[in-house]
């Protein structure tokens, strides 16, 4: 086992597919696709064309590419909104000569991943008062407030997809359409349900970003950017290595919009988001598996793991609602110490600390095997 050789301890990850703990566990089919991809060389534009076909089939989008993560998808998507198919603008990013760099964002949707928009050269323009969160009110921003913030320098609208996100994407998309502006949706962790692969596009998003390393079960450093073909093609141009002979280069027909470009950009902002052939192959296989899986079976499998983690159960245990059920263990005042004891065990068990202030430890079934779920059940039983 490579980890033994490296002197790196493995752990049971019940904190979810978090990056800090290396994401999840890949299916053998996904790893095998990556291994096979590593054995030969290909043209990366052709590889992305294959990704485009797979993503189109899974999402209904006009086009899609594999990125090095959802964060990279947000960065490249923002770059596409600002540069369009203009290679000069691509070359200048993150500088924006014409000033059209503003992304309107509802204040309650601000999050640290939106830095990717700024890294690309964008500037976030906040609207709305998050009254719902602060307590004194019940309302959040309305679509008209988003509209009011649109001006000559607006490049797009950034939207964080969450079940509680307000205003509704549909309403924001209607505003954007009136102004001819794209809506860039960060839906990194909004899977399952698999229906969300299509939902945001159907609600009017122009670009949608998903993580490949979360529920999709793909390589940890993979993601998806999908949506309008011209914007996805622009994003691809800003990521591909284009040290090519311009006379002989032709875009794959999946990215036919690139035929309109007056020239090719040089290495730009997307160069730091490089994705390998292995990640693309792995993501395609993972995406196909995710879409083909039966939703009821997926839910039953996750629930069975939660039940296994609960062991004999009791009043201190509950199963949370939501697309991914979790075990909530009400430990009380010693919750943080208990988490430390779990982590110090052999192997260490990492759990979710999002509710530690209430004395609750969360156990997420996404990144654990069935055997590991049973092991968690035994360890909790021994410690409670």
Ligand X SMILES: *Cc1c(COP(=O)(O)O)cnc(C)c1O
Task: Output the residue with the shortest Cβ distance to ligand X.
Answer: 69
Minimum CB–partner distance for residue 70 and ligand X (Å): 3
Q: Is 373 in the site for ligand X (CB under 6 A)?
A: no
Which of 203, 181, 204, 189 lies closest to 125 in space, CA to CA? Answer: 181
Q: Is 272 in the site for ligand X (CB under 6 A)?
A: no
* CA distance linking residue 230 with residue 62, whole number of Å: 9
The angle subtended at Cα 28 by Cα 21 and Cα 66, nearest 5°, is 70
Q: Is 217 in the site for ligand X (CB under 6 A)?
A: no
Which of 65, 70, 43 lies closest to 54 in space, CA to CA? Answer: 65
| C-beta of 168 vs 250, nearer to ligand X | 168
Contact with ligand X (CB under 6 A) among 86, 110, 113, 198:
113
| C-beta of 19 vs 153, nearer to ligand X | 19
| Dihedral class, residue 314 (left if φ above 0, else alpha if ψ from -120 to 50, else beta) | left
Minimum CB–partner distance for residue 55 and ligand X (Å): 15
Tokens encoding 371? 């055997």
Minimum CB–partner distance for residue 116 and ligand X (Å): 8
Contact 238, 79 (CB under 8 A): yes
| C-beta of 51 vs 189, nearer to ligand X | 189
* CA distance linking residue 108 with residue 128, whole number of Å: 8
Which of 64, 34, 52, 54 lies closest to 210 in space, CA to CA? Answer: 64
Q: Is 235 in the site for ligand X (CB under 6 A)?
A: no
| C-beta of 121 vs 213, nearer to ligand X | 213
Q: Are strands 327-330 and 317-319 parallel, antiparallel or unpaired?
A: antiparallel
Contact with ligand X (CB under 6 A) among 13, 59, 165, 211:
211
The angle subtended at Cα 332 by Cα 11 and Cα 373, nearest 5°, is 30
Rounded to the nearest 5°, which phi and psi values hold at 349?
A: -115, 120
Residues in contact with ligand X, total (CB under 6 A)? 12
Contact with ligand X (CB under 6 A) among 10, 19, 38, 260:
19
Q: Is 58 exposed, middle or buried (0-12, 13-18, 19+ CB in 10 A)?
A: buried
Which of 384, 381, 359, 383 lies closest to 309 in space, CA to CA? Answer: 381
| C-beta of 189 vs 281, nearer to ligand X | 189
Minimum CB–partner distance for residue 255 and ligand X (Å): 22
Tokens encoding 114? 């939106």
| C-beta of 93 vs 189, nearer to ligand X | 189
Contact with ligand X (CB under 6 A) among 156, 167, 213, 352:
213
* Footprint on residues 167-206 left by ligand X (CB under 6 A): 186, 188-189
Q: Is 66 in the site for ligand X (CB under 6 A)?
A: no
The stretch near ligand X (CB under 6 A) out of 36-44, 63-71, 149-157, 264-272 is 63-71
The whole-angstrom distance between residue 316's C-alpha and the CA centroid of its chain comes to 33
Q: Is 71 in the site for ligand X (CB under 6 A)?
A: yes
The stretch near ligand X (CB under 6 A) out of 64-72, 97-105, 254-262, 304-312 is 64-72
Q: Is 219 in the site for ligand X (CB under 6 A)?
A: no
Q: Which residues bind ligand X (CB under 6 A)?
A: 19, 69-71, 111, 113, 186, 188-189, 211, 213, 223
């Amino acid at each position: 086992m490579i980890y033994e050789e490296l002197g790196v301890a493995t752990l049971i990850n019940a904190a979810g597919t978090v990056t800090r703990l290396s994401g999840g566990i890949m299916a053998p089919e996904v790893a095998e696709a990556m291994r096979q991809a590593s054995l030969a060389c290909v043209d990366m534009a052709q590889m992305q064309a294959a990704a485009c076909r797979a993503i189109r089939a899974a999402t209904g989008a006009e086009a899609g590419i594999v990125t090095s993560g959802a964060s990279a998808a947000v960065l490249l998507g923002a770059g596409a909104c600002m540069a369009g198919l203009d290679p000069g603008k691509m070359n200048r990013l993150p500088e924006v000569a014409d000033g059209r760099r503003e992304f309107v964002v509802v204040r309650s949707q601000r999050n640290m991943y939106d830095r990717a928009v700024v890294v690309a050269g964008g500037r976030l323009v906040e609207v709305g008062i998050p009254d719902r969160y602060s307590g004194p009110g019940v309302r959040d921003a309305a679509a008209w407030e988003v509209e009011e913030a649109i001006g000559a320098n607006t490049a797009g609208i950034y939207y964080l997809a969450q079940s509680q996100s307000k205003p509704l994407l549909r309403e924001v998309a209607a505003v954007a359409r009136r102004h001819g502006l794209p809506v860039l949706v960060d839906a990194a962790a909004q899977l399952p349900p698999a229906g969300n692969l299509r939902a945001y596009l159907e609600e009017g998003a122009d670009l949608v970003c998903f993580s490949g390393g979360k529920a999709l079960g793909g390589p940890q450093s993979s993601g998806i950017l999908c949506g309008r073909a011209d914007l996805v093609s622009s994003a691809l141009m800003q990521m591909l290595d284009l040290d090519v002979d311009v006379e002989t280069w032709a875009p794959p027909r999946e990215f036919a919009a690139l035929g309109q470009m007056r020239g090719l950009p040089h290495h730009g902002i997307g160069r730091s988001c490089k994705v390998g052939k292995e990640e693309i192959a792995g993501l395609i296989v993972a995406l196909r598996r995710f879409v083909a899986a039966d939703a009821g079976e997926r839910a039953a499998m996750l629930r069975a793991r939660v039940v296994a983690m609960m062991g004999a159960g009791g009043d201190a245990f509950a199963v949370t609602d939501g697309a991914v059920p979790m075990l909530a263990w009400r430990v009380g005042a010693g919750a943080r110490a208990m988490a430390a004891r779990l982590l110090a065990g052999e192997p260490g068990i990492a759990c979710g600390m999002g509710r530690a202030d209430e004395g609750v430890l969360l156990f997420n079934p996404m990144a654990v095997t069935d055997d590991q779920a049973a092991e968690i059940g035994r360890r909790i039983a021994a410690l409670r």
